[in-house]
Amino acid sequence: MARTMYVFFFLAFAAVSWVASMEATDEEMQFFKECAEENGIEYKDMRDYSFKDVPEELHCYIKCFAEKGGYLDDNGKFNIEKARARDHGNGEEALEKAYQCLENLSPVKSCSDMEPALKCVEDVDHFFAK
């Protein structure tokens, strides 16, 4: 479950350290829980979604994790270097495309700004462990 939660939430930053073999750190797990509570989300149900079908009501939750986890900087831009450091250099083609896409997005200022980021990572859906 920890791996699934990590994969789902950095997206966006998910944005993007989504590698099936990764585990969330204790600190990241705390961020998951805090963001779930802050946004009225059932933490245990998060594994039921993939990047292609994230409900709108989860965008604030994902943004919260990206901010707390340092995957979004103070200007709302994705911290791609942090994501690369977490992906252990796997360099999957879909992952590289996701990084490029995330680098070119407008700054994330609102929850709805997460929609384009989610689109960036649709093709890395195969990393999502259901």
Q: What six digits make up the tokens of 81?
A: 């270097």
Q: Identify whether the C-beta of residue 4 lies closer than 8 Å to the C-beta of residue 42.
A: no
User: Looking at residue 67, what is its pLDDT?
Assistant: 94
* Whole-structure pTM value: 0.73
2-127 — its CATH code? 1.10.238.20
Return the closest-CA partner of residue 12 out of 127, 116, 125: 116
Residue with tokens 């994705």: 78
Residue 33 has pLDDT above 50, yes or no: yes
Q: How many CA atoms lie within 13 A of 30 on its CB side?
A: 5
Q: How many CA atoms lie within 13 A of 43 on its CB side?
A: 15
Average pLDDT in the chain: 75
Q: Identify whether the C-beta of residue 41 lies closer than 8 Å to the C-beta of residue 63.
A: no
Q: What six digits make up the tokens of 62?
A: 């994902």
pLDDT, greater one: 27 or 22: 27
Residue 34 has pLDDT above 80, yes or no: yes
Convert the pLDDT of each residue in 3-22 to its tens digit: 444 444 444 344 334 333 35
User: Looking at residue 42, what is its pLDDT?
Assistant: 79
pLDDT, greater one: 55 or 49: 55
Residue 72 has pLDDT above 90, yes or no: yes
Type of residue at 110: S
pLDDT, greater one: 22 or 122: 122
